Chains A and B, each alone.
Chain A
Amino acid sequence: MSEIADKVKKIVVEHLGVEESKVTPEASFIDDLGADSLDTVELVMAFEEAFSVEIPEDAAEKIATVKDAIDYIEKQKAA
């Protein structure tokens, strides 16, 4: 797993208070990890802070799973 993926996973565990084993790439923040809409706003903020990236609202709305987040951040970092 990439360094970014590790860090994303850690942030999700911390913010949503879920078991690490549940944070699989396919896991949906809302459907599988018990987040509500405010939790996802906060998660995106935490990603922005941790990776020094800007995630605009329209992009944030498309981040529904752990993999979505990792992919988006990796793309931003590669650019």
Chain B
Amino acid sequence: MGIVSPLGLGLEHNWSRLIAGESGIGRIASFDPSDLPAHVAGEVPAGPTEAGGLTLSDWVPVKDQKKMDRFIHLGLVAATEAVEDSGWKPESEEDRCRTGVMIGSGIGGLQTIYDASITVHEGRARRLSPFFIPSALINLVSGHVSIKYGFKGPNHSVVTACATGVHAIGDASRLIMLGDADVMVAGGAEAAVCPLGIAGFSSARALSTAFNDTPEKASRPWDRDRDGFVMGEGAGIVVLEEYEHAKARGAKIYGEIIGYGMSGDAYHITAPAEGHEGAYRAMQAAVRSAGISVSDIGYVNAHGTSTMADDLELQAVERLFGDAASQVAMSSTKSAIGHLLGAAGAVEAIFSILAIRDNVAPPTLNLDNPSTESVIDRVAHEAQRREIDIALSNSFGFGGTNASIIVRGV
């Protein structure tokens, strides 16, 4: 597994900072946000690799960097960590052909498209880089990962806004179940913290603007003072493998994907339906496919974006768990890293697996005054030790798309 997020680079680095209750949110540093309503975001920190910072030349050769938008850079960093962590190095042509890639993005190369538009607008269309299109295309993370490692199996991608990461991992696991591949590198990457991205989500009234002077307080899922999500950037990548295949080679196995459920709201382009009934159906489908009872689930990593929709998701989770609701812990790790859009579901699925590994529920930061009371423990402020064997992770996207995934320790 591999993560790059506003908390830095690396799986264990991210996890230890998350558990310690640290925040990766700050005032936007990559450009001056003064003209925009929202001034805060979660940006991947630059710095030496060994200190958990991003030094791009350690990962992508300088001459290739300009051929890719930042979301591809971040995807490649996380994919490199994940593939190396997995120890999977297919030597035979057959093994390479049985290894595929499915990495998505919610938005893709937004800054690249912006820059190219300016070039064309200025009448310099002939000066447009030949790398413009392959730099911006969403499936090019999958493409670059396959080229780097020689993975010749299914090469696919997912675009379902903020549900992308879960859909990528869920669909990739299904491809393995269907026999299309033995190994799939899957996840999401996003880098939309740019003027166009911030302006666009601001215009949709989706971003927090009330905490511009106290950025670390801006992402506050379920809190009564929340006023929108905080955009984050990064990537989360996992290596999925058919169980017997992984066992046979003595692979390090973090966990098992046991359930996956999807649904559509058929309601509104940005707002969830009443009671988040689409989310309820996605979770229900995941539980059904896992063949477990809801009381087996010890931890829920909520979509919990720090918007009005948080309480609707809470209602849906309460409805799903029924009498078991008082036993489960649910937190939103977006409180620490912001909303990574197309990468969110993948990073959060990884956090869910680590929650099982270490029997720790990561905290929901800034949950000072819940807007709605609930019997569900939302792990306010501090991580909690608890027995977690099975975890559920939710991601919902614009367009009314919902995805839930259930993982179990091995």
Q: Contact check, B127 vs A42: say whether CB atoms are below 8 A apart.
A: no
Contact residues of B: prevailing secondary structure: helix
Bound CA–CA A15/B64 (angstroms): 9
Q: Is the CB of A17 within 8 A of B130?
A: no
A5 interface residue, CB < 8 Å from B?
no
Say yes or no: B62 contacts A17, CB within 8 Å: yes
Cross-chain contact A42 with B63 (CB below 8 angstroms): no
- Listed in ascending order, the chain B residues whose CB lies under 8 Å from chain A are 61-64, 67, 126-127, 129-131, 134
Is there an interface contact between B62 and A42, defined as CB atoms closer than 8 Å? no
- In the bound complex, residues from chain A placing their C-beta under 8 Å from that of B63 are 15-17
- Assuming the contacts A17-B62, A17-B63, asked whether A45 and B127 have C-beta atoms less than 8 A apart, the reply is yes
Central interface residue in B63, B64, B131, B134, by most chain A CB within 10 Å: B63
- Residues of chain A having any CB pair with chain B under 8 Å: 15-17, 38, 41-42, 45, 48-49
Find out whether the CB atom of A38 lies under 8 angstroms from the CB atom of B127: no
A29 to B: closest C-beta gap in Å: 13
Task: Give Cα distance in the complex from A45 to B130, angstroms.
Answer: 9
Contact residues in B for A48 (Cβ distance below 8 Å): 127
Residues of B within 8 A of A42 (CB): 129-131
Contact sample, A vs B, 20 pairs, CB 8 Å cutoff: A15-B63, A16-B63, A17-B61, A17-B62, A17-B63, A17-B64, A38-B67, A38-B130, A38-B131, A38-B134, A41-B130, A42-B129, A42-B130, A42-B131, A45-B126, A45-B127, A45-B129, A45-B130, A48-B127, A49-B127
Q: When chains A and B are docked, how far (Å) is the Cα of A15 from the Cα of B62? A: 9
Chain A residue numbers with a CB within 8 Å of B129 are 42, 45
Please measure, in the bound complex, the distance between the C-alpha atom of A16 and the C-alpha atom of B67, giving whole angstroms: 11
* A48 vs B64: C-alpha distance when bound (angstroms): 21
CB distance from A27 to the nearest CB of B (A): 16
Closest chain-A Cβ to B109's Cβ sits at a distance in Å of: 16
A49, B60: Cα distance in complex, Å? 26
| Chain A residues whose C-beta falls within 8 Å of the C-beta of B130 in the assembled complex | 38, 41-42, 45
**Minimum CB–CB distance for B12 against chain A, Å:** 32
B8 to chain A, nearest CB (A): 27
Shortest beta-carbon contacts, A-B, top 10: A17-B63, A41-B130, A38-B130, A42-B130, A17-B62, A16-B63, A42-B129, A38-B131, A45-B127, A17-B61
